[in-house]
Amino acid sequence: MSDRIIDERTAEVLRSKFKKELKDPVSLILFVGRRNKEYCDAAIKLLRELSDLSSLLTLEIREDDGEARTPVVLVDPDRYSIRYIGYPGGYEAWAFVETICLASRQDPGISPDALKKLNLRSKLRLVTFVTPECPHCPHQVLLMNKLAVAFPKIVEAECVESYENPDLAEKHGVTAVPHTLVIAREGMLLGTIVGAQPEDIVLGKIASMLSS
């Protein structure tokens, strides 16, 4: 019996997807440590299996490199500020794969008109709390990651796995997921977006927070 996370059938689908959709190389950096060791081990296995599916994917594993929380995954950090705090498995694996493809194409998949309405000029941090069994969370996370691709080094997108980081979830009063914090450059909380909502509604809410 195979102990692989990605079965061979899924691997073939992903191999074909990466061959079709990846354009530029994408680097993945995984921080692991003693904290959440079970999830660190799972993240190592998942990311190794993913990176083996395309020559355009590179994986670097760093241990105890000053990261207070582990596992943590950075997606193409030389270009974007996209961070997963926790194991990107369960339903989140889909959005994680899609994020890799967006980063490779350097295309957020959001219309220029929609992006223009945000009128982003200063740094914005978008922190989305999720759980592995939430089927709606990946859509919210992917949208935040799209904004990070659309506004490189201006928008920071973070996906936080609540079960692995209960202290953070409690600190920010997370009782339902997805739960997104919209934080300004100075660290000021502009507002929250709770629950799955259509893309245009979410972008409209962020635009309203920025203009108020």
Q: How many domains does the chain have?
A: 1
For residue 1, being part of any structural domain is answered with no
Q: In the chain, helix, strand, coil percent, each to 5?
A: 40, 25, 40
Cα–Cα distance for residue pair 28/195, rounded to 1 Å: 28
Mean pLDDT of all residues belonging to the chain? 94
pLDDT at 1 over 60: no
Please indicate, yes or no, if residue 70 is contained in any of the structural domains.
Answer: yes
Residue of 105, 54, 51 lying closest to 73 (CA atoms): 51
* Amino acid symbol at 7: D
Instruction: Write out pLDDT tens, residues 64-79.
Output: 766 578 999 999 999 9
Residue 104 pLDDT exceeds 70? yes
| Mean pLDDT confidence for 131-148 | 96
How far apart CA 44 and CA 159 sit, in angstroms, is 18
- Here the CATH number for the domain that contains residue 93 is 3.40.30.80
Q: Give the structural domain span for 28.
A: 8-106+116-211
Does the residue 111 lie in any domain? no
Asked whether residue 2 is assigned to any structural domain, the reply reads no
Is the pTM above the cut of 0.85? yes
Q: What is the pLDDT of residue 120?
A: 85
Average pLDDT, stretch 76-95?
Answer: 96
Phi, psi of 186 (to 5 degrees): -80, 5
Confirm whether 29 is domain-assigned.
Answer: yes
Is 3 part of a structural domain of the chain? no
Tens digits of residue pLDDT in 171-197: 999 999 999 999 997 889 999 999 988
Reference 100, options 207, 44, 181, 22; nearest CA is 22
20 found inside a domain: yes
Task: Report CA-CA distances (Å) from 130 to 12, 54, 95, 134.
Answer: 28, 28, 12, 7
pLDDT cut 90: percent of the chain above it: 84
Q: Does any domain span residue 88? A: yes
Q: What is the 3-state secondary structure (H, E, C) of 73-103?
A: EEECCCCCEEEEECCCCCCHHHHHHHHHHHH
State the Cα–Cα distance between residues 77 and 81, nearest whole angstrom: 6
pLDDT surpassing 50 at residue 82? yes
Token pair belonging to 106: 């350097």
